[in-house]
């Protein structure tokens, strides 16, 4: 009763991939703490860029950080100066001596379909003292116009400065959380107001996820005779009706 699970962890290997891709036996704890601190630092310092996800890959003496953002221009800066400054600060604060740091930045194709970007925009609006219901409705319409099949937003805390904390929820469309093939993006965040903290949770249902191999196998399994069907070749020609044969009898003339 009431046991919830993170939708991204629930779908690992299906529509969601691992955010940290490395293996270590002895230094597992140190690498894990480095990943947590790195993600917190990047999401906090680059909030204005609209960070969607941060993937970390490790190799021998090298670490690669893949940042997906809605506004990559704010991170890159003029002639790549922003990336160089970020690389230097990360190597100085978090990495040990001799580890190379590489940073790759990619742009989100549809920012309004990203749950993390929607959470960040809601956080900014709530901290500006905009009514929470208006913020929720505006973001739901924004996501549905982008092409989503369903959205669910939950806001909890001292909403609009009320003395008693409560929880408000708005849902539009379908959000099948129990379906494993459903591609659902999930994110959560906190808005710091003068009344206290307000929690924000967003679920976005993008549609069903199918592997490319299965669709290709289905296409190849179609018989060739059906796929190469030619209308002109296999056109049914009308059959001519047989002519009606009238049989006549030869009648002998009777002699008078």
**What is the 3-class SS of 67-114, one letter each residue?**
EEECCHHHHHCHHHHHHHHHHHHHHHHCCCCCCEEEEEEEECCCHHHC
Among the ranges given (11-25, 46-60, 104-118), the one the predictor scored with the smallest mean pLDDT: 11-25
pLDDT for residue 239 is more than 70: no
pLDDT band at 172 (very low <50, low <70, confident <90, very high): very high
**Is 0.85 topped by the overall pTM?**
no
pLDDT tens for residues 31-70? 999 999 999 999 989 888 889 999 999 988 889 999 999 9
* pLDDT at 48 (0 to 100): 87
* pLDDT at 227 (0 to 100): 42
Rounded to an integer, the average pLDDT of 23-27 is 87
* pLDDT at 212 (0 to 100): 55
pLDDT band at 181 (very low <50, low <70, confident <90, very high): confident
Q: Is the pLDDT higher at 197 or at 13?
A: 197
* pLDDT at 246 (0 to 100): 55
Nearest to 180 by CA among 16, 3, 18, 53: 16
Q: Is the pLDDT higher at 241 or at 75?
A: 75
pLDDT tens for residues 119-161? 999 999 999 999 999 999 999 999 999 999 999 999 999 998 8
User: Structural domains in the chain?
Assistant: 7-108 (3.30.300.20), 112-208 (3.30.1140.32)
pLDDT for residue 25 is more than 90: no
DSSP string, 10-70: HTBTTTB--SEE---SSSHHHHHHHHHHHHHHHHHHTGGG-EEEEEEEEETTEEEEEEEES
pLDDT tens for residues 185-235? 999 999 999 999 999 999 999 988 775 555 555 555 554 444 444 445 444
């Amino acid at each position: 009763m009431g046991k919830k699970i993170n939708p991204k962890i629930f779908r690992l290997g299906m529509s969601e991939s691992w955010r940290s891709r490395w293996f270590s036996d002895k230094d597992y704890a140190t690498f894990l703490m480095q990943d947590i601190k790195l993600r917190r630092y990047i999401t906090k310092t680059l909030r204005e860029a609209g960070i969607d996800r941060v993937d970390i890959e490790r190799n021998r003496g090298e670490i690669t950080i893949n940042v997906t953002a809605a506004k990559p221009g704010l991170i890159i800066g003029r002639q790549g100066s922003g990336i160089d400054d970020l690389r230097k600060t990360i190597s100085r604060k978090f990495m040990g001596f001799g580890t190379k740091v590489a940073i790759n930045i990619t742009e989100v194709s549809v920012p309004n379909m990203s749950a993390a970007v929607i959470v960040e925009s809601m956080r900014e609006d709530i901290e500006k003292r905009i009514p929470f219901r208006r913020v929720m409705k505006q973001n739901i319409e924004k996501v549905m116009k982008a092409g989503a099949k369903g959205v669910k937003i939950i806001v909890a805390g001292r909403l609009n400065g009320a003395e008693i904390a409560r929880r408000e929820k708005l849902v539009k469309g379908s959000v099948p959380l129990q379906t494993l093939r459903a591609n659902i993006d999930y994110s959560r965040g906190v808005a710091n107001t003068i009344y206290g903290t307000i929690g924000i949770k967003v679920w976005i249902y993008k549609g069903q996820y199918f592997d490319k191999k299965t669709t290709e196998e289905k296409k190849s399994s179609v018989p060739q005779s059906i796929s190469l069907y030619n209308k002109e070749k296999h056109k049914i020609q009308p059959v001519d009706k047989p002519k009606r044969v009238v049989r006549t009898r030869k009648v002998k003339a009777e002699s008078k």
